[in-house]
Structure 1
Amino acid sequence: MTKDYIVNLKDIAEATGYSISTVSRVIKKKGEIAQATRDRILEVAGRLGYHDNRLSNGMRTGKTGTVGIVSGIHCTFFAELFSALNRELVKRDYLGLVSLNDDDEIDDQACIRRLLEHRVDGILIVPRYDQADNRYFTEATSRGLPIVSIDRKVPADIDFVGTDDYAGGWMAAEYLYKLGHRRLGYYQGPQGASPARLRREGFEDFCRKHADCTLILIGDGGWDTPEAAVLTAALQAHPELTAVGAFTDIFAAQLLEAARIVGRRVPEELSVVGFANMSDPAILSHGITSLEQHAGKLAEAAVTALFDRIAAPEAPWQEIRVVPELVVKKTTAPPRRR
């Protein structure tokens, strides 16, 4: 089997009658070239099937036009974030190289190491651990490679872009309070993860600042999701609760099932607010009132922060938080009058 011939700059030069230097400047978008000349060269390049040699360019310039993306795809939010990051990179004529870190046998450092081997120009990462410090990223940062942490703020000298989780927790409690609810619950996520901790703190602080508001925390804040019996027991033990906030829409869906089991009608007898406004069909079917995290805005901010760092390595570190947006659906309503 014969392989297709790979067209090079010399072939285009011979087909157009222009010098290799002129063809090269047109392909690389450099220098002042007459529009007619540019159009002719690009037309022939396209007809011949020319593709730029990024590997060769990278060896010459030290820039490969690639960015590493390290993340797990645990739910539809991260899938949307992943897609949005790729779209933003494509806008800048960059290729995203994906390394998934959602397997216990593949840690962040292993992903970073492989990306270093591919000479990426920067890394966008959703770290697995909140405790990731400067030593955690030293293999990349010691080489001057820019890194942007997404979703989790870590104690390392790198840029950060994420949701304003504290504000989101506060907004959820505030919305329920304005509906008239005063006996609130919060189904907390793993407190070892900063997004979960900040959402709980925002919800909790709002309740603390309002003397007529009481709060019951549901779940132990560990990494293991409570069994259904724990949630049903919590609702049965606290019949006074009229509304509950949840760490994510997945947690909110579990609350809806627990409410069904114990005979609490949603939203007539119990309002529920989630977080992330997930697009998973199983979640969408519930019509959960939620906080939209705007994956597209996060991706745009993260990619911009990365290229800002590439352009200005010594600039102050950035911390960018995108405020979520309340999306009211079917699981919330004012409390029943007793």
Structure 2
Amino acid sequence: MPNIREIAKRAGVGIATVSRYINDTGYVSDDAKQKIQKEIDNLNYTPNALARAIFTKESKIIGLMIPNISNPFFNQITTIIEKYSEKMGYTLFLCNTEDNKEKEAKYLEVLKSYRVEGIIALRSQCKEEYLNIQIPVVSFENHILPSIPIVASDNYNGGRMAFEHLYEKGCRNILHIKGPKAFEATERRCKGFLDGAKEKNIKVDIVEFESDFHVEMLEQNLSGIKSIEDYDGIFVFNDIAAAVVMKFLKERGIVIPNQIQIIGFDNSFIGELLHPSLTTINQPIKELGTLAVKLLIKLINKEEVDIKEYLIETELIQRETTAHRQLG
């Protein structure tokens, strides 16, 4: 494998000159540049990115901790983050943690060894692991440390919005299918939904799912719900789980929205593909992903950033799984 020593010998220049040219860290004459580039092309040489990062202290790599790449919402926000990072001159190092604390901790060590310049942690399950890592971090949804800024949708008001919509559509016997307790976002959605119900003196039954995107596990959770057909409205903590709920109801001959109205959360692309199409609460994915990258790059550049929670407004997207019904 060719190296800078061989390039320097063939080009008739010093190793330090080749290093300055490759890393753009100092003056190199035009004549030397042409000779070096000619030998780089002849040898089909590719610089060692890790060695360059150590030398220049700039890897131009951002680590992205993603909890579940199969979940359409996280799939979409990853695409947004990747595109904006590329636009700003950075490459992504993708780590699929599967909401597993141990796996996330191992990836954190890998990212440190690769000298990434910053980390965006989506729904992190770790806290103390991020102490003293000397790498800028931005969190999405879950709190990590007081020193780390957070980007999130306004999940609490999104939950209130979901209740108000079902109530306006005539639902009075309501079920909320909530996400795992480790997910701060779905806990806030649940709190907002229940606070809205309390104001209207409506009792809401709650069932907690153990996962957000393992279909077999979701179906097992649903099988444990007694008399699900007695409900007239269901709020599901995210769209992919709502799709599983719809499938479960259809297999039992329950007509949506005539018998049960359903609302999800995220506004991932799957909602429009379902039949009937899914009413949901929109998370502004483009704004969320772009803001996370912008904050991280500011931290990388040692610019001033307010260390706080950046909440982005949610929005109701009404489709076919909710429809007006007259109360009897």
TM-score (norm 2): 0.78
Q: Is the 8 A contact 1:158 1:317 kept in 2?
A: yes
2:197–2:204: 8 Å Cα contact kept in structure 1?
Answer: no
Q: Deviations over 1:151-178 (max 9, x none)?
A: 3233442111122211211111122223
Q: Are residue 79 (structure 1) and residue 79 (structure 2) matched?
A: no
1:70 aligns with 2:60: no
Gaps of 5+ in 1: 15-19, 32-36
Cα distance change, pair 153–177 in 1 and its aligned pair in 2 (3 A): same
C-alpha change, 1:155 and 1:283, in structure 2 (3 Å) is farther
Asked if structure 1 preserves the Cα contact closer than 8 Å seen for 2:240 and 2:270, the reply is: no
Q: Is the 8 A contact 1:69 1:124 kept in 2?
A: yes
Instruction: Name stretches of at least 5 consecutive residues in structure 2 with no aligned partner.
Output: 212-216
Contact kept in structure 1, 2:233 and 2:262, CA below 8 Å: yes
Please list, as runs of the form range in 1=range in 2, the aligned pairs for 1:1-338 lying within 5 A after superposition. Answer: 57-72=52-67, 73-102=69-98, 107-129=103-125, 132-133=126-127, 135-138=128-131, 142-211=132-201, 214-220=202-208, 222=210, 225=218, 226-231=220-225, 233-236=226-229, 239=230, 241-280=231-270, 284-312=274-302, 315-338=305-328
Name the TM-score, length of structure 1 as normaliser. Answer: 0.76
Pairwise CA RMSD: 3.8
Aligned to 1:227, what secondary structure does the other structure show? helix
Q: 2:72, 2:240 within 8 Å by CA — same for their partners in 1?
A: no
What percent of counterpart residues are identical?
A: 21
Shift, 1:296, TM fit: 1.9
CA contact (8 A) 2:266 2:281 kept: yes
Deviation at 1:128, TM superposition (A): 4.3
Deviation at 1:55, TM superposition (A): 5.0
Question: Alpha-carbon deviation of 1:281?
Answer: 8.4
Question: What is the deviation of 1:79?
Answer: 1.0
* 1:304 CA displacement: 0.8
Confirm or deny: 8 A CA contact 1:278 1:284 kept in the other structure. Answer: no
Q: Equivalents in 1 of 2:115, 2:255: separation in Å?
A: 56
Q: CA deviation at 1:50?
A: 9.3
Q: Structure 2 vs 1, CA of residues 255 and 102 (structure 1 numbering), >3 Å: closer, same or farther? A: closer
Q: Which amino acid aligns with 2:185?
A: P
CA shift digits 1:178-198 (9 cap, x unpaired): 334344321222223212211
Give the match for residue 34 of structure 1. none
The letter for the 2-side match of 1:192 is: A
Distance change in 2, residues 1:94/1:195 (3 Å): same
CA distance in 2, matches of 1:301, 1:291: 20
